[in-house]
Structure 1
Amino acid sequence: MHLQDMTDKILKLLLCFSCCQPCLLFAQDDIRSISCQPDFTPSPDGFDFLSGNNLQYSVPENTQISDIHITRLPIFDPGNPDENNWIYQLANRLHIQTKVDTIEQVLLFDSGENYDERSLQETGRLLRQQNYFQDATVQPVSVCGDDVEIEVVTRDTWSLTPGISFDRSGGENSYAFNIREANFLGRGKLLAVSREKSIDRDSNEFLYDDLNLLGTRNTLRFGLSDSNDGFSQFIDSGLPFYSLNSRHSWQFNLLNERLIDTLYFRGEEVNEVEHRLKAMFIQYGYSTGLRDGISRRYQFGYHYEDSSFADSGALPPPVVFPDDRKLSYPFVAYELIEDRYATGFNLNQIYRTEDLHLGRRLHHRLGFASEALGSDQDRLILEGSYRDTLHYSDNALWTHKLNWQAYWNIDTQSGENIKISYESRYFRRWSDRHSSFIRFEGTYTRKRNSNEQVTLGGLNGARAFDNRYQVGDRRMILNLEDRLYTNIHLFNLIRVGGAVFMDIGSAWSPYQENGSDNDILADAGFGLRFTASKGASRQVAHLDFAFPMTNIDDPVVDSFQIAFNVKSDF
Structure 2
Amino acid sequence: MAMFKQHVMLLAFIFCLFKLSPVWANDEQAFVINQITIINHSIFDQSSKDNFFIHDWANSLHTTTKKSVIRNHLIFQQGDKVTSADLNEAQRILRSKRYLRDAKVYFAPLKNKIKPTSKTVVVETWDNWSLLPTADFNRTGNESRYSVGVKDDNLMGLGIRTRLKYNHERDRNGYHASVSAPINWIEHGIATIGYERNSDGQVLDWSLIKPFYSNQTKTSFSITHDDDHRVDEIEQNGDVVNKFAHSTRFYSGQYGWLLHNDQQALSRFRLGVTQQQDRFSPTSTLSVIPKDRKFFYPWVGFQYIQNDYHEFNNVRVLDKNEDINLGWTHTLKLGFELDDKRNNNLPGYHINIHTTKGHQQDNNLWLFSLNGNATLATSHSDYYRLDLQSEFFHFINPKWIFYSKAKLSFTNNLPLDLLNSLGDDSGLRGYPLQYQHGDNTWLLSAEIRRIPNINLFELADIALVAFADVGQAYGSGTTSNQDQGILTSIGAGLRIYSSKSSNNSVGHIDLVYPINSDPSIQGLEFRFTVKQSL
Determine if the alignment matches structure 1 residue 564 to structure 2 residue 528.
yes
Deviates more, 1:153-162 or 1:463-472: 463-472
Determine if the alignment matches structure 1 residue 363 to structure 2 residue 334.
no
Structure 2 residue identity aligned to 1:202:
N
Indicate the residue corresponding to 1:198 in structure 2. Answer: 169
Identify if the C-alpha distance between structure 1 residues 88 and 202 changes in structure 2 by more than 3 Å, giving closer, same or farther.
same
Structure 1 residue identity aligned to 2:104:
T
Structure 2 residue identity aligned to 1:123:
A
Determine if the alignment matches structure 1 residue 270 to structure 2 residue 237.
no
Report the Cα offset of residue 206 of structure 1. 0.6
Residues 506 and 519, structure 1, Cα contact 8 Å, conserved in 2: yes
Q: How does 1:159-170 map to 2 (within 5 A)?
A: 159-170=130-141
Q: CA deviation digits over 1:155-188, x for unaligned, max 9?
A: 1111100243322223421111111011011010
Determine if the alignment matches structure 1 residue 312 to structure 2 residue 280.
no
Report the Cα offset of residue 378 of structure 1. 4.1
Deviates more, 1:259-268 or 1:462-471: 462-471
Residues 341 and 347, structure 2, Cα contact 8 Å, conserved in 1: no
Indicate the residue corresponding to 2:369 in structure 1. Answer: 401
Residues 170 and 457, structure 1, Cα contact 8 Å, conserved in 2: no
Determine if the alignment matches structure 1 residue 134 to structure 2 residue 104.
no
- Find 1:71's aligned residue among 36, 39, 49: 39
Report the Cα offset of residue 547 of structure 1. 1.0
Partners of 2:176 and 2:184 in 1: CA distance? 22
Indicate the residue corresponding to 1:52 in structure 2. Answer: none
Report the Cα offset of residue 395 of structure 1. 0.9
- Find 2:302's aligned residue among 334, 338, 347: 334
Structure 1 residue identity aligned to 2:92:
R
Q: How does 1:55-134 map to 2 (within 5 A)?
A: 61-83=29-51, 85-134=52-101
Partners of 1:200 and 1:531 in 2: CA distance? 30
Partners of 1:535 and 1:396 in 2: CA distance? 29
- Secondary structure at the aligned position of 2:417 is classed as coil
Indicate the residue corresponding to 2:354 in structure 1. Answer: 385
Report the Cα offset of residue 139 of structure 1. 1.4
Residue correspondences, number: 503
Residues 124 and 136, structure 1, Cα contact 8 Å, conserved in 2: yes
Report the Cα offset of residue 222 of structure 1. 1.6
Identify if the C-alpha distance between structure 1 residues 139 and 292 changes in structure 2 by more than 3 Å, giving closer, same or farther.
closer
Residues 170 and 459, structure 1, Cα contact 8 Å, conserved in 2: no
TM-score, with length taken from structure 1: 0.84
- Secondary structure at the aligned position of 1:371 is classed as coil
Report the Cα offset of residue 200 of structure 1. 6.3
Report the Cα offset of residue 259 of structure 1. 1.1
Q: Which runs of 5+ in 2 are unaligned?
A: 1-26
Structure 1 residue identity aligned to 2:524:
F
- Find 1:282's aligned residue among 253, 269, 284: 253
TM-score, with length taken from structure 2: 0.90
Of structures 1 and 2, the larger Rg is shown by 1
- Secondary structure at the aligned position of 1:527 is classed as strand
Report the Cα offset of residue 110 of structure 1. 1.8
Partners of 2:250 and 2:343 in 1: CA distance? 13
Residues 245 and 290, structure 1, Cα contact 8 Å, conserved in 2: yes
Structure 2 residue identity aligned to 1:118:
A
Structure 2 residue identity aligned to 1:458:
D
Report the Cα offset of residue 291 of structure 1. 2.5
Determine if the alignment matches structure 1 residue 223 to structure 2 residue 194.
yes
Residues 270 and 316, structure 1, Cα contact 8 Å, conserved in 2: no
Determine if the alignment matches structure 1 residue 506 to structure 2 residue 462.
no
Report the Cα offset of residue 516 of structure 1. 2.7
Structure 1 residue identity aligned to 2:286:
P
Residues 342 and 379, structure 2, Cα contact 8 Å, conserved in 1: no
Indicate the residue corresponding to 1:4 in structure 2. Answer: none
Indicate the residue corresponding to 1:16 in structure 2. Answer: none
Identify if the C-alpha distance between structure 1 residues 243 and 151 changes in structure 2 by more than 3 Å, giving closer, same or farther.
same
Residues 131 and 152, structure 2, Cα contact 8 Å, conserved in 1: yes
Percent identity of the aligned residues? 26
Indicate the residue corresponding to 2:8 in structure 1. Answer: none
Q: Which runs of 5+ in 1 are unaligned?
A: 1-58
